[in-house]
Amino acid sequence: MKKGIFISFEGPEGGGKSTHIRDLERFLENNGIKTLRTREPGGTRLGEVVRDLLQNNLAGEAPSSRAEVMLFAASRAQLCENVIRPALDEGTWVLADRYADSTYAYQGYARGFNLADLKEITRFATGSLVPDLTILLDLPPEASRQRLAARANAPDRIESEGEEFHLKVRNGFLELARDNPERYAVIDARDSREAVSALIEAEIKARFPNQVRS
Ligand code: Z5A
């Protein structure tokens, strides 16, 4: 039975998901809460191979758009069954660096696949496991590009998509947040790291007052 809390971090690339998950991890651990960080695609041995297939063309050819959907779903299925559910069952809080909403934003709103189909594939892959809270770190494409340009590594296959694609991703996330206001917290990721972390902590305290106090 699920005893832990499941929090996903979503948003355009460079929004600070990894950074703010690390900050939240420290905050929760100071409150005596055990946490586990996951990432997608990846987070299991199988998932990390899928990540290489998706991002670095490990197979020597890019996946077709439909194969891309199924590969993200396969990585998520493995992660849910082998990592996320067992952790939640033992009372650990799971902090996920991307989850199903990324499929809806990237493969749905940006690539154009039908959201109802993607939801059905996700339901099968996850056994209907939905986060308790989704933190959307919202960033306009130009700010995202600037942050990515400051990194040493070359853009991967999906990062290399054009401006229009990334705008659709951002707007897709904002629409998902509007459609699911009880699950989503939207945070302006252009603020400083300290300001964004403080907003996330305030959101967690407000939503889970019995577990988080200080
Ligand atoms: N994808 C998909 O299409 N469908 C799916 O179902 C799933 C994923 C699950 C995974 O990328 C790709 O797969 C992603 C979506 C797609 N592709 N794209 N494009 P990834 O895992 O390799 O990377 P990412 O998720 O796109 O995120 P990232 O590039 O690792 O960025 P981040 O984790 O959000 O940000 P960060 O590394 O914490 O921060 C970036 C920089 O900004 C860094 O220098 C920080 O120091 C700085 N930073 C962070 N926060 C701040 C604030 N608040 N102020 C200033 N600077 C900050």
Full pLDDT tens readout for the chain, 214 residues: 899 999 999 999 999 999 999 999 999 999 999 999 999 999 999 999 999 999 988 999 999 999 999 999 999 999 999 999 999 999 999 999 999 999 999 999 999 999 999 999 999 999 999 999 999 999 999 999 899 888 878 888 888 899 999 999 999 999 999 999 999 999 999 999 999 999 999 999 999 999 997 7
Query: Looking at residue 157, what is its pLDDT?
Result: 87
pTM of the predicted model, to two decimals? 0.97
Query: Looking at residue 201, what is its pLDDT?
Result: 98
Q: Which protein residue's CA is at the shortest distance from atom 1 of ligand 1? A: 102
- Residue 14, ligand 1, Cβ within 6 A: yes
- Residue 153, ligand 1, Cβ within 6 A: no
Q: How far is CA 48 from CA 40, 131, 168, 203, in A?
A: 9, 22, 26, 31
Query: Looking at residue 153, what is its pLDDT?
Result: 84
- Residue 103, ligand 1, Cβ within 6 A: yes
Ligand 1 atom closest to the CA of 15, numbered from 1: 34
Query: Looking at residue 148, what is its pLDDT?
Result: 86
Query: Looking at residue 213, what is its pLDDT?
Result: 78
**Residue indicated by tokens 């948003």:** 11
- Residue 94, ligand 1, Cβ within 6 A: no
Length of the chain: 214
- Residue 123, ligand 1, Cβ within 6 A: no
CB 159 within 8 A of CB 13: yes
CB 77 within 8 A of CB 47: no
Query: Looking at residue 97, what is its pLDDT?
Result: 98
Distance CA 126, CA 188 (A): 29
CB 80 within 8 A of CB 125: yes
Query: Looking at residue 151, what is its pLDDT?
Result: 83
CA of 28 to the centre of ligand 1 (A): 21
CA of 71 to the centre of ligand 1 (A): 19
Encoding tokens for residue 214?
A: 């200080």
Query: Looking at residue 108, what is its pLDDT?
Result: 98
Query: Looking at residue 66, what is its pLDDT?
Result: 98
HSE-up (13 A, CA, CB side) for residue 28: 24
- Residue 13, ligand 1, Cβ within 6 A: yes
Distance CA 160, CA 154 (A): 9
- Residue 82, ligand 1, Cβ within 6 A: no
Nearest Cα residue to 24 out of 210, 183, 208: 208
